[in-house]
Structure 1
Amino acid sequence: MPEATNGVDLRGGGLAILDRIDGVTLSSVTLPLPTGISDAKVLTGRQRPMTEVVLLFAEIHTEAGLSGIGFGYSKRAGGPAQFAHAREVAPELLGEDPSDIGRLWTKLVWAGASVGRSGASTQALAAIDVALWDLKAKRAGLPLAKLLGAHRDSVRCYNTSGGFLHEPVEQVMDNATRTLEAGVGGIKIKVGQPDWREDLRRVTAVREHLGTDVPLMVDANQQWDRPRAMRVCQALEEFDLVWIEEPLDAADAAGHAELARALTTAVATGEMLTSVAEHWELIRHGAADVLQPDAPRIGGITQFLKLATLAEHAHLQLAPHFAMEIHVHLAAAYPIEPWVEHFDWLYPLFNERLTTAGGRMYLSDRPGLGVTLSEQARAWTGESVSFGNSPGGSR
């Protein structure tokens, strides 16, 4: 019989344990996109058009019959690597109390320590970490934002999926009209083409189409060098933009800081970084007015919350990248009024939809993330593996 004091098992096997993980299922799901997507990286020859998104789903089950779901993703490359790494470390979760999320994140990091604490290794952990937070909120009967401590029940939102460079500017303007009619509040369009004057023509056309009251952002996807960025960003000042996103290479904290000091328009960046430490370089350099972390890219919600504390301390705005099904909760829990990026790409994967109205995205009253996997997502599953007592099995 384990020794205990005041009803608490001193050896970790008794009343202090609320529940135990008895099953984990990992699935690799390939989401096809209706058309090849091009931003400035394609037009400058650095990448091919994007035709699919590969997602890693984690489903965690407990002895008490509870379950949580989480996901991460990869664009163009890296999906198989994320699945392979998660498959190696996920058995370490069996028998653990799912409430101990921070400790479990550290345990999984050390299980794969030889491949580091950023990039594909920690992105593989993100799906698991998100699933644990989803499970914790479900146990409490609360939406995740309420578990974290929400500052608001809705967040400002802007759309990106209608503003890519593979479509002519006339189509981008039509997309923007439909997006605003659907209740989304802001529009972001892509820039960064080889001819920067064409960028200015597109921004001029979209701004005239939208009028002066609609929030407008632009995104160069890291395609300018420092002299070009300074020239084009100064030319963009007249359009009253909410921000100019990724004008420089994501790792160029000093260059972004120089731009931020020179411009009245806010500089936004951070989506391509894969750790809290990398974001800290932006913060300490004063390189961003708007920080754009991506929870799946930096290792999940546990890491995002650490970064959010640093961002709040620096009085930065927050506009999380992609994965709105996760980020609406995290943004709602951030003290400074944030933005959330609206992407409709993941709609086929879930049975539920987030509500947009009046320029804002609303939290649902469903517990956890508030999403369940659709039958279509199951049909697009290319590989899956289960450990412990999870339903299903390897295929």
Structure 2
Amino acid sequence: MTSTAREGAAPAVLDRITSVTLSSVTLPLPGGISDAKVLTGRQRPMTEVAFLFAEIRTEGGAEGIGFSYSKRAGGPAQFAHAREVAPDLIGEDPSDIGRLWTKLVWSGASVGRSGAATQALAAFDVALWDLKAKRAGLPLAKLLGAHRDSVRCYNTSGGFLHESIDQVMDNATRTLEAGVGGIKIKVGQPDWAEDLRRVAAVREHIGDTVPLMVDANQQWDRPTAMRVGRALEEFGLVWIEEPLDAYDAEGHAALARSLTTAVATGEMLTSVAEHYELIRHGAVDILQPDAPRIGGITQFLKLATLAEHRNLQIAPHFAMEIHVHLATAYPNEPWVEHFDWLYPLFNERLETTGGRMHLSDRPGLGITLSEQARAWTVDRVEIDAPY
């Protein structure tokens, strides 16, 4: 490592990146997972999730790990883009995270600043934040400045539409017994009367005091969303998620003004700019950004500042291993989505008790890749310093 601070000398450098390892890991799912997009014929059942892992090492011995992901198509594209731009990190100081994000964006500027391109960069960005927190000996949330040591959490993985309502209710029972605080179930079927029957059954099963959310996965048009949203009011939902197309800011705004139930959306957007359109239109009560989808933690923090300025709640989507840190560092009380799908990838588990997800005292993200994750690796490349 080198460090200089003399007047007129080279910029101070605390450490340098010497290698980046990229791994494409395919996580198999237990059976075909179906939400409303499958039942309306827009997608096939989901059988796997593609992960992009980035492991960054420095000459000073520091290491960081980060990841991005893609459900269905897109995983190979993320891996290919990451492999192309990764050499631009070699020799750089890992502390300069914001500058490095900008450098990598410009490396691939011809393919834009959203979508698969920035999702690929997210793996690097998360790894750099993990590295910085580890070097400080702090959990990432503490490095960012935590407002709390735990967050409200709700489960989604037990509420999909490929399972019978009896199975969904059984899943809810086990989830609540495991210390998770709320239940989210999927709606948005072609026959929305069936949605109402499923919601009514789950509400009766879990009782009136347990937080309950629904997610239509963008499958309603504006009139249907208004009609079903009003019919759902009686169930005391925490929110209605993705009632409309993710980019219909005006439609979401009209719905948010008309319903008592909060409107939540944002998970499918892939940049801060796209989220800002929701904020600008007053289209959302609860913003649901996904750090891997919008380009990583650096971009998430920018968006969190905009959301806080409007006094919005946030409920980050998926990737709870990352989002528990970002949510605990958000001033307004947030929610974090509990998914058990990623359990096989890591050696560690997040603790859930009393309806809340708790920070661990492990430095950084507090995760290490499991041997199973290594076994599911379908492609791997290591980029080293040329010396």
TM-score, with structure 2 as normaliser: 0.98
For 1:308 and 1:82, the matched residues in 2 are separated by: 25
1:244 aligns with 2:240: yes
State the match for 2:31 in structure 1: 35
1:194 aligned counterpart, secondary structure: coil
CA offsets 1:69-110 (integer angstroms, 9 cap, x no match): 000000000000000000000000000000000000000000
Corresponding residue of 1:324: 320
Equivalent residue number for residue 310 of structure 2:
314
- Name which of 335, 345, 351 aligns with 1:355: 351
Letter in 2 for 1:74: S
Write the letter of the residue equivalent to 1:325: E
Which of the residues 313, 329, 334 maps onto 1:333? 329
TM-score by length of 1: 0.96
Query: 2-side partners of 1:65 and 1:274: how far apart?
Result: 33
Counterpart of 1:126 in structure 2 is 122
**2:138 aligned with 1:142:** yes
SS in 2 for 1:228: helix
**Residues 231-380 of structure 1: pairs in structure 2 closer than 5 A:** 231-380=227-376
Deviation string, structure 1 residues 182-216 (Cα, Å, up to 9, x no partner): 00000000000000000000000000001001000
CA distance in 2: counterparts of 1:348 and 1:47, whole angstroms:
25
Separation in structure 1 between the aligned mates of residue 165 and residue 346 of structure 2, nearest angstrom = 31
Please give the alpha-carbon distance, in whole angstroms, between the structure 2 residues aligned to 1:385 and 1:156: 38
Per-residue deviation, 1:139 = 0.5
Distance, in Å, in 2 between the alignment partners of 1:324 and 1:9 is 45
Deviations 1:139-178 (A, max 9, x none): 1000000000000000000000000000000000000000
Moved over 6 A (4+): none
Note the C-alpha offset of 1:37: 0.2
2:189 is aligned with 1:228: no
SS of the residue corresponding to residue 243 of structure 2 reads coil
Cα distance change on mapping 1:152 and 1:109 into 2, 3 Å:
same
Q: Secondary structure at the match of 1:127?
A: helix
Shift of 1:389: 5.6
1:10, distance to aligned residue in structure 2 (A): 2.9
What whole-Å deviation, never above 9, does each CA across 1:325-361 have from its counterpart, x for those lacking one?
0000000000000000000000000000000000000
1:10 corresponding residue in structure 2? 9
Structure 2 match to 1:175:
171
Tell whether the 8 Å contact from 2:241 to 2:263 is kept in structure 1 after alignment. Answer: yes
**Aligned with residue 42 of structure 2, among 41, 46, 54:** 46
RMSD (CA atoms):
1.3
C-alpha distance in 1, partners of 2:336/2:230? 26
Q: Secondary structure at the match of 1:74?
A: strand
**2:367 is matched by which residue type in structure 1?**
V
SS of the residue corresponding to residue 157 of structure 1 reads strand
CA distance in 2, matches of 1:8, 1:385: 40
Mapped to 1, the partners of 2:117 and 2:324 lie a distance apart of 25
Q: Which amino acid aligns with 2:116?
A: A
The answer on 1:112 being equivalent to 2:111 is: no
Alpha-carbon separation, structure 2, partners of 1:389 and 1:92 = 10
Q: Which amino acid aligns with 1:169?
A: I
Match of 1:219 in 2: 215
Q: Is the 8 A contact 2:90 2:385 kept in 1?
A: no
Tell me by how many angstroms 1:35 deviates.
Answer: 1.1
Structure 1 unaligned blocks of 5 or more = 391-395
Determine if contact 2:264/2:287 at 8 Å carries over to the other structure.
Answer: yes
Q: Percent identity?
A: 84
**In structure 2, what is the Cα distance between the partners aligned to 1:8 and 1:220?**
59
| In 2, Cα distance between equivalents of 1:219 and 1:83 | 29
- Residue type at the aligned position of 1:32: P
Distance 1:185 1:42 in 2: 28
CA distance in structure 1 between the aligned counterparts of 2:257 and 2:374, rounded to whole angstroms? 48
Q: Map Cα deviations across residues 302-344 of structure 1 (whole Å, 9 max, x no partner).
A: 0000000000000000000000000000000000000000000
Structure 2 unmatched ranges of 5 or more: none
Alignment partner for residue 202 of structure 1, among 198, 201, 204?
A: 198
- Secondary structure of the residue aligned to 1:59 is strand
AA in 1 matched with 2:366? G
Is residue 2:192 matched to residue 1:193?
no
**Equivalences for residues 158-173 of structure 1 within 5 A:** 158-173=154-169
Instruction: From the superposition, tell whether residues 161 and 8 of structure 1 become closer, same or farther in structure 2 (CA, over 3 Å).
Output: farther
Q: CA 1:179–1:9 in structure 2 vs 1: closer, same or farther (change >3 Å)?
A: farther
Question: How many angstroms does 1:7 deviate by?
Answer: 3.1
Contact kept, 8 Å, 2:325 with 2:359, in 1: the verdict is yes
Distance 2:317 2:106 in 1: 27
Whole-angstrom distance in 2 between the partners of 1:40 and 1:321: 17
Partner of 1:393: none
Deviations 1:48-79 (A, max 9, x none): 00000000000000001110000000000000
The AA in structure 2 aligned to 1:11 is A
Alpha-carbon distance in structure 1 between the residues aligned to 2:21 and 2:110 = 24
Matched residue of 2:304: which SS? helix
Cα distance, 1:9 vs. partner?
A: 6.4
Aligned-partner SS, 2:213 = strand
Q: Which residue is equivalent to 1:81? A: 77
